[in-house]
Chains A and B, each alone.
Chain A
Amino acid sequence: QVQLVESGGGVVQPGRSLRLSCAASGFNFNIYGMHWVRQAPGKGLEWVAVTSSDGVYVYYTDSVKGRFTISRDNSKNTLYLQMSSLRPEDTAVYYCAKKKSGTFYELPDYWGQGTMVTVSS
Chain B
Amino acid sequence: QSVLTQPPSASGTPGQRVTISCSGSSSNVGSNTVHWYQQFPGSAPKLLIHTNSQRPSGVPDRLSGSKSGTSASLAISGLQSDDEADYYCAAWDDSLNGPVFGTGTKVAVL
Contacts and interface: CB of A to CB of B under 8 A. Distances in A.
Chain B binds chain A: yes
Contact of A47 (B32, B99, B103): B99
Given A61-B96, A100-B47, A110-B47, 12 more contacts: A35-B99, A44-B103, A45-B90, A45-B104, A46-B101, A47-B1, A50-B97, A50-B99, A95-B44, A109-B47, A111-B45, A114-B44
Interface string A93-121: 00100001000011111111110000000
A107 B93 CA distance: 10
Interface string A47-67: 101100000000111110000
Contacts, number: 68
A44 B104 contact: yes
Q: 3 smallest A-B Cβ distances: which pairs?
A: A111-B44, A59-B97, A45-B101
Nearest to A93: B44
Main secondary structure of the interface of A (DSSP, over half): strand
Contact of B35 (A46, A107, A110, A114): A107
Interface residues of B, number: 26
B45 A45 contact: yes
B24 interface: no
Contacts of B44: 95, 111-114
Interface of A: 35, 37, 44-47, 49-50, 59-63, 95, 100, 105-114
Interface of B: 1, 3, 32-33, 35, 37, 43-47, 50, 56, 88, 90-92, 96-104
